[in-house]
Structure formats: structure tokens, C-alpha cells
Structure 1
Amino acid sequence: MSEPPRFDRGHTDDLMSFLAASPTPYHAVANTAERLEKAGFRQVSETDAWDGTSGGKYVLRGGAIVAWYVPEGTAPHTPYRIVGAHTDSPNLRVKPLPDTGAHGWRQVAVEIYGGPLLNSWLDRDLGIAGRLTLRDGTTRLVNVDRPLLRVPQLAIHLDRSVSAEGLKLDKQRHLQPIWGLGSDVRDGDLIAFLEETAGLAAGEVAGWDLMVHSVEPPAYLGRDKELVAGPRMDNLLSVHAGTAALAAVAGSGAALPYIPVLAAFDHEENGSQSDTGADGPLLGGVLERSVFARGGSYEDRARAFAGTVCLSSDTGHAVHPNYAERHDPTHHPRVNGGPILKVNVNNRYATDGSGRAVWAAACEKADVPFQSFVSNNSMPCGTTIGPITAARHGIKTVDIGVAILSMHSARELCGAEDPWLLANSLVAFLEG
């Protein structure tokens, strides 16, 4: 077995570029696919017959991607090692009738996606990006990555209670961004603007999936630049690390006892119940078809799934210096302390003792420290794609990730070392 490739600070530099280039799940999977193509992977269509050839392959579906690498001579019953993540982040998304406004202000009608920290979207320069569907059924990505919109906060002079009682936002009335002036609100203005921006003919767009994003680029922070501030770390940090790890393993030339897989799903932030979410059929269908394409039977499929392990990699909570009482008193994950193992006995996370052993072995092999996270007993615990993946496919799943602050903010904060420590541990896990 060859030594696992080692990532370093350059991986974090690359993460920042990935975050900036991926304002939506559709851009994230396009950028992931581009990186995999450079590593020798090729796209396969779900509507085509699949062959059993070796090498790296991937499937794109909306804002989700599943990629896998089959070494030469791999038996049909060979188990998988899966890194699972998600491409979506809480944000503001454009409604079907986007053009609105009042009192001389032109606005864009938005809906709240997931559970964002609403105040983090106020008084921030916002762009707009997403997927346009054309009349012929094809799609086109669009990204207006410049200050275009803004959700203005009410001045303190008009709400003197805000300092004493806290900010109170009505999701319908207070979060509609402005993007210009004019008393005549015309239906179709926003889409016409985006058609022109994308170089499309007027009226060519028949549907859209659009969302706003902060245009402030990721940046190093702190006296020694030991921190990174940026958008969508939850959970593009894991998507980026999983992509880098899969490409490294596929290019290492090492003999592999498992088939390494990256599964990056959409819609985790609102329950995963979609054809591109972890609770949909995408992952199971891809894995099964891979078994059958190599000449395997249902028995081979059952054997492969029985030996498979998935790491559900998602961000978690670092101990907050101003709110330490909100954390479990004996579990205080710190940034730059290495990735975290997430545990919840009520199965909000899928980790059990045997899963911990798999994770510990990967970290030991990669020479990466890891920490443990468990919620304060008095606080409700979040969840991930981990329990969904385990229940839907009957495969052992372990919840891990990187500890961050400001989760679900428009701009989150992590340690500069943790992204590459995670990537190194994922390489060791995928190699087995």
C-alpha cells in the first residue's frame, strides 16, 4: 500500500477558490465534475447502458453528484467506501414571480430556504446565481457575482427597542431585497436581466432555480491567519475535501480493497426528500448499477452493501467562547484541533462504537488528530444525511466533519488547518 497523499495549507487556499466559485449547488457540482475530469474521471448518463470498465466515473443530477473509482479487476461484490456530503446551504431563493417592489423601490421576491441566520443577510452586498432552464429543456448556469441586491436593515432611530429586546424579523415582510429604483414594477424584469447576462435571447428561459449569495470573497482571518471566513462552508468544505480525496486515491495507483465513492447530495437543509437528496434513490441506484455493470448479481449487490462504510461528512459546532454554556461541558471541539466525530444516542447522528473504530483507524493511518462532539443534553441536536443513508441503504454510516462557528450564517468561520486535516483523513478512509 502506498503512503496516502498529504494535503497542506495549499488545500485551504484551493477551498477558498472553490467556495467563491460555487454560489449554488449547481455550480458546486459543476466545479466538482471539472476537478474530477482533470483527474481522469468521465461522466456517464443515467439514461445510457453502463459498461463494467474500470476507472473513474460520475453521475450528475441537478445539484447532486455521485462519483466512484473502480480499479482494474475489481470483483462485483467488492464493498464501497463512501464519503457523503451535501451541496446546499441555507439562503434566500427567488420565488416564481420574482418582480415586486413598493414606494419607488424595485425588489426581488424571495423565499427562505432551510434555516439561515436571517440577520446575517442584512446590509450585505448580494449577487444572484443559479440554473436557468431553456425552452428546449437544456440548462444554463448563471452567476451575477457583483453587488446587485441588498436587504436593508431598519435604522435604530425607527426601532429603539432593537438593542434591548433583540432584532425581530418577519420572514415575509423584512427580507425582500432591493435591486433598483422605479415605481413601475414590470413582470419579467429579473429574468430578462439574467437572460441578457447569460447571453440568451429574450424569452428563451422557461424556468429557473435562483438564489442570492454574498459577494464578499473568502478570506484568512486572525493575527497569524489561522482562521478562514467564508460562505457555504456548511457543507461545501466537505464536498471539496471529498473531491480532493477521491481524486488523490484514484491517482495513487494503490491496490484498493474497496471502491471509493463521493456522494454529494442536494436538499439536506430541508430534509433530503427529493430525487437529488440523500433520502432519494440516487446513491442506491448508482451503486447497484455499478455492481450489475461488472456482471454482478443481486447476491453480489447484497455482499457489497453489507461490507460498505459511509462517512457522512458535515460541519459541526466548535465551542463558542461567548456561549460555552450552550455546549456539553466535557466536549468542547476546537478549531484547528482536527475533524470531529459526531455522536448522538438518539440516532440524530449515525455513529456507533464500531463506526468510531473505523474512523479512528483512518485518522491514525493519516496521522490526523480527531475530536468528539456531542450536544448538550438540554439542547436539541441537529442531524445530517448520516442516519438517512444508514436507514435507506442498510450500510454502516459514521458522522464526522469539521468544527466551525457561525453555522448557517451567510459567512461562517473555520480553522485554516482543519480542511486539509479532514482531506487527509478521507484519503486514508477511502484507501482502507
Structure 2
Amino acid sequence: MRHAALAASILASLALAAPIAQAQDAAAKLAQDAIIVDTHIDAPGILMDTWADLGVEAKDREFDYPRSRAGGLDVAFMSIYTSPKQDADGSAWHVANQMIDGVEALVHRHPGKFAILTSPRDVSRLLEGGRVLLPLGMENGAPLGDHLANVKFFFDRGVRYITLAHSANNRLADSSYALEKTWNGLSPFGRDVVREMNRVGIMVDVSHLGDASAMEAIKLSRVPVIASHSAFRHFTPDFERNISDAVAKAVAAKGGVIQVPFGTAFIDPASAADTQAYFRAIDAFDRGNAALKAQGQPPKDRAAFGKDWDAAHPARASTLAQVLDQIDYGVKLLGIDHVGIGSDFDGVDGELPPELKTVADFPHLVAGLQARGYKDADIRKILGGNLLRAWTAIEAGAGK
């Protein structure tokens, strides 16, 4: 009897394993066949700190060529990120150009593996041979400085979206992280920049913006706008960095797309609260240091503050289910045509769901969407079709 029970148990396990294996195979096949577009990968910033050849396996990175091919990633927007500090010290323009040089060097080193992408019309042609395409997205408008001509300058260098602000108010717009807003919308120069971005064909990105700045940018733009990596504030009510329903609906009404990130800090409510608290604390710390400097006293150690903060706020966990919940919510709120993905790989210190640790893991996302009942045609839209549609419309509106 024991042998019969064991045999029955083995047969039951095999019967269960077969559908699971079939589901995994179906997800992997779709991931390879669909055009996957990830609008936010922070590889260039890490290349500035520590060089790695991303054309071969780079074990300490989340993006490289072998993993991209394994996961089916086709179009990987490289984030040209500059910080508020670099904005303040005047180095943002130089840093942005160095990052672009780094991406170009990667392409020149591996022309059979990578290509710079500057237009959605070139996707099919450039993908031939198994390349991964690298369009550029500028995270923070700081490199523009005070010169409107720099919009065209960076367009000519390949930049195809600009996130107007990052973690501090700047000369264009207000940051979602700033407790006090400078403009309560766009600055006069920010409005000129949006118009010029429309003219040359650069996507306006409202991720990171305060609500009033985002709404004015959306209203002013003649073409669709995007949120390159924004989760939904519905899950994190006090976290302005995540997009509100009102702003998301405005993006969709304009024909744009909300690109959902994978980082724990965005999709997990407790982690989002920690992130919000950090920016408030570091703001107070910097204000205190400014007061000490004004009094002729030595400032406190910012690095030590960060170390103490990390010790008191250990990393939290997140899950694939939370990413899927974000996508579900966006689809229900906006419709299937206005949701995509902007992972933030290499930009969140590895704080990601265990099922989505690198660009090789896109089949897990596909399998999750299939398990939740999404049709393959709709999954293709989420994976990249929606972003390419919006980008095509933005490009078509250029020059008008």
C-alpha cells in the first residue's frame, strides 16, 4: 500500500509539474518574441563609478548583454542621471556628456550586440542580429543649464526623453521630494523647455515631479508625455514620488504611458514611507549644515548621516505580486494602452523583488501577467507596444 501511495504521489506531482513547465515555457517564448522596452536602467551612472564590460556577463550588475538576451529585453533606455549637487556645482553638463560617451563607447566596442536607438522607426532594422538597442533618457534637466539651445544639443547626442527634475527643485520644475516648492508648476524657462522638447521630438517625462509641475507640463505639451518610472500612489498615499490618479489620468488622456518600476522603495508601502522620511531628514540635515556654515562652524558629516540612516532603516522585501498589483491597478484606472515598464535596474541598490533581480527575469513578469489572465496581445502592449506607440506620436509631432 505504501508503494501504491508513493506512486500516486509521484504521478500527482508530475501532473502538477507539467502545466507549470508549460506555463514557464509559454512565458519565456512570449518574452523572446515580444518587443520589450524598459524605459529606465541606470547602467551609465555605474559605468562612471566602476567600469564593466556590459557586452559580456557583468556579475555585479543587473543589466548586461547576456542577461538581456536571456530575458528578451530589446530596448533599454540608458539613464543619463545627474544629481542636484552636480546641478549646484555646475558639473551636470559635463557629467551628462561623459555618460553619453560611455554608452557610445559600449556600442563601439560591441557593434554586433548593441546599437544606439534614436527613433522607434528603426527598432526592427536595428534589432537584426540579436542586438539590444540603447536609447538615452536624461534623468534631471540639470545638464540643460540656462541655455534653451542645449535641448537640441542633447537631442543631437541621442537623448529622447528628459525627466524635468529629480530629487530637488531645479530651474525647470519642482521635485516631488521637495517639502517646499519653488514654482508650483513649471518655471518660465521650464515652459520654454517643454515647448522646445515638443519641437525637436524629445519625450517630456513627469516622473519625479511634484504634482503641480507634472500637471502643467502635461497641459502645456502638444504631444503625449510619459512617466518613465513611476508606481501608483494609490498604494503609498503619502509618497508624492509615486504618481497620483489625477496625474496618471492626465498622462493617459494625452495619449501617454505610465511605466511601472520594480524597485522595492516604490512598490512596497513601508519602503516608500522610509524613502519619504529619508528625504525629509536629509533636507533638514542639509539645512542645519547650511546654518552651521553661515555661523562659521564646521558642517556635520553627510556620509556618516547616511550610514547611520541605513543602519536604522534596513532594506525591506518586496514581491513580484506587488509589481503585478501596480500593473493591474494602472490598467483598471487608465486602460490597457497606457501602462508599461520602467524597471530602475541598477538604480535601486539591488532592492528588488527576488523574481525580478536582473533583466534576465522578464519571463517571470510575463508568467505573472499570464497567470492573472492577461491576453498575450495585451501583454505585448505592456512590455513595449504602448511606449513605442506614444514615442511614435511624439516624434510625429516634432517640428510643428
TM tier relative to shorter chain: under 0.3
TM-score of the pair, normalised by structure 2: 0.27
TM-score of the pair, normalised by structure 1: 0.25
- Give the strand-richer structure, 1 or 2: 1
